Chain A
């Protein structure tokens, strides 16, 4: 049985640009899929296709078991969308914004009012509820936007870069909200260019680049794919580099890579902390002074570099450009 979000061979082109070049997705109910990729990779286009905002050139998609292309309005009843920008009316108060969205989700005025009150409370906006949202901070506006997406407690949520531009404290706060949501059974598709965010929130990760899924799996699987752990040593004296290299090669699974400029040596290993202790003892016995040593597990950054050959740059160029015909 296909998952709560399912896509098969999604293709969307804008002129010469293939923003989506055959994307397949399958998100089991109650799980979080992180769509990870740099700007222009196609993440936003994928979300726009799945949320009925764009019609793909080819492919099929089902959300909450409903065919997105055939019954878009039924899909809209089952989803919540929180985009890259806080899509709230800045001249309306927080309460008015939520009430309006509730009524547009076909709630009666009174129900919409009650629900708005609950959400304002839940998202710590009760004190600011009757102020125009223009006066809100960036973090508050994002929370209001997220609250708007949750008015009908949709079973499936889409969040397009929910924390882009937020400070670390607000980001942490939003992560907590997202984790609570998922604990409550919501299926979530989340796009992000923050590797840490995908690692933290998502059960499964799809790495996208140039409109294609180039890797998928859990964070651990992706890390394992990049290679295991490594020992990293920074020696104090440049003259000790060669000797340290020999020692590391003896413990490692291969040759040590050397960065002379930073006097850093890296070698892939198996054996973890125990091995690390042995390396330290041996270096000490040979009188090699070290500035730093550590056992390093690959991060998703390493995953990205090994997959795409380039960094997942977190520049500020808007991804909306990819969606412009």
Chain B
């Protein structure tokens, strides 16, 4: 009995930002431990982008014209920014499924009954996903180097490109969090987290030169938040093919700024919605 009723030292009262950060880190750590114990999830997360690299490079590569070039080396370099961006956004589904699973298993109820900072459960999850996304990007970049992708700009710019990708991925994981809180099962979160990503990533400049798209789709592609990050990375990596004509649309002309703006807007909007949803979550 003694262990149950033993007086526990008074908890250290904490509040505000410090508490938020602390609680978020506890949850992030929990999710990272979890991920490390399900290595197959990380593996599947890698297979898909590697498969896309291979498919697009060797199957479509010779037939897709980018800028004025049909060279497969030019396409390979053009393609990689698109694959990187697609990979970070596909992590959305992971965040959604994880949170839906926590809801389903009653863990969200447990967390909500604890004196935690409001957004910490979701922040912890999205931060853990960010770490996983970063690892995936590193492996994917190595694969890309192996098949002949090269960045031609200085180290700072390359790093900035990956920074933009991570920011986009982080912003998108909040969309995943909201989906995860809104559906009834983890399975629904996985499919619900993926279906809208296909049109989003394909009606863009990720795999093709958006100049070659029909007018209607071209406008969508040029304003697509996803495209702006892809375009920004191509500039920062020096991966724009010779003879490429940058579209006149504002986000394409200022892709780095547009990419940051888009990501911040998505982050703020979906974080607000997701945290609100979390507070009223009822399974």
B interface, how many residues as a size bin? Answer: 35 or more
Contact among A91, A107, A150 for B37, CB-based, below 8 A: A91
Shortest Cβ distance from A7 into chain B, in angstroms? 17
Check B105 for interface membership: any CB of A closer than 8 A.
Answer: yes
A118 to B1, CA, bound (A): 11
A129 to B222, CA, bound (A): 54
Assess the B11–A87 pair: CB atoms within 8 A.
no
Which stretch (A47-55, A267-275, A296-304) binds chain B?
A: A47-55
Assess the A119–B282 pair: CB atoms within 8 A.
no
Contact among A88, A96, A111, A153 for B5, CB-based, below 8 A: A153
Please indicate the chain B residues that have their CB under 8 angstroms from the CB of A108 in the complex. Answer: 12
Assess the A107–B8 pair: CB atoms within 8 A.
yes
Check B34 for interface membership: any CB of A closer than 8 A.
Answer: yes
Given A91-B37, A92-B34, A105-B11, A53 and B4 touching (CB < 8 A)? no
Please indicate the chain A residues that have their CB under 8 angstroms from the CB of B14 in the complex. Answer: 106
Check A115 for interface membership: any CB of B closer than 8 A.
Answer: yes
Please indicate the chain A residues that have their CB under 8 angstroms from the CB of B143 in the complex. Answer: none
Assess the B113–A91 pair: CB atoms within 8 A.
no
| CB-contacts of A68-126 with B (<8 A) | 73-74, 76-77, 79, 81, 83-92, 96, 100-101, 103-108, 111, 115, 118-119, 121-122
Which stretch (A21-29, A180-188, A215-223) binds chain B?
A: A180-188
Nearest A residue to B14 via CB reads A106
Please indicate the chain B residues that have their CB under 8 angstroms from the CB of A81 in the complex. Answer: 109-110, 113
Check A287 for interface membership: any CB of B closer than 8 A.
Answer: no
Assess the A132–B5 pair: CB atoms within 8 A.
no
Contact surface of B with A, Cβ cutoff 8 Å: 1, 3-9, 11-14, 19, 22-23, 26-27, 29-30, 33-34, 37-38, 105-107, 109-116, 280, 282-283
Assess the A103–B4 pair: CB atoms within 8 A.
no
Given A73-B115, A81-B109, A181 and B4 touching (CB < 8 A)? yes
Contact among B34, B106, B115, B280 for A84, CB-based, below 8 A: B106
A interface, how many residues as a size bin? Answer: 35 or more
Of B8, B23, B109, most buried by chain A (CB within 10 Å of CB) is B8
Shortest Cβ distance from A125 into chain B, in angstroms? 12
Nearest A residue to B111 via CB reads A104
Contact among A87, A107, A177 for B106, CB-based, below 8 A: A87
Please indicate the chain A residues that have their CB under 8 angstroms from the CB of B23 in the complex. Answer: 104
Which stretch (A200-208, A226-234, A255-263, A317-325) binds chain B?
A: A317-325
Nearest A residue to B102 via CB reads A89
Nearest B residue to A134 via CB reads B37
Assess the A152–B283 pair: CB atoms within 8 A.
no
Assess the A152–B11 pair: CB atoms within 8 A.
yes
Contact surface of A with B, Cβ cutoff 8 Å: 48, 51-55, 73-74, 76-77, 79, 81, 83-92, 96, 100-101, 103-108, 111, 115, 118-119, 121-122, 132, 148, 150-153, 177, 180-181, 183-186, 320, 323-325
Shortest Cβ distance from A29 into chain B, in angstroms? 14
Shortest Cβ distance from B172 into chain A, in angstroms? 24
Assess the A54–B6 pair: CB atoms within 8 A.
no
Q: Can you list 19 contacts pairing A with B, beta carbon distance less than 8 Å?
A: A48-B109, A76-B113, A81-B110, A83-B110, A86-B106, A87-B107, A89-B30, A89-B34, A92-B34, A100-B29, A106-B13, A106-B19, A148-B110, A152-B8, A153-B5, A181-B4, A183-B1, A184-B4, A323-B282
Assess the A107–B30 pair: CB atoms within 8 A.
no
A77 to B23, CA, bound (A): 15
Please indicate the chain A residues that have their CB under 8 angstroms from the CB of B107 in the complex. Answer: 87-89
Please indicate the chain B residues that have their CB under 8 angstroms from the CB of A115 in the complex. Answer: 8
Please indicate the chain B residues that have their CB under 8 angstroms from the CB of A51 in the complex. Answer: 113
Nearest B residue to A181 via CB reads B4
Please indicate the chain A residues that have their CB under 8 angstroms from the CB of B110 in the complex. Answer: 81, 83, 87, 101, 148
Assess the B106–A85 pair: CB atoms within 8 A.
yes
A107 to B116, CA, bound (A): 12
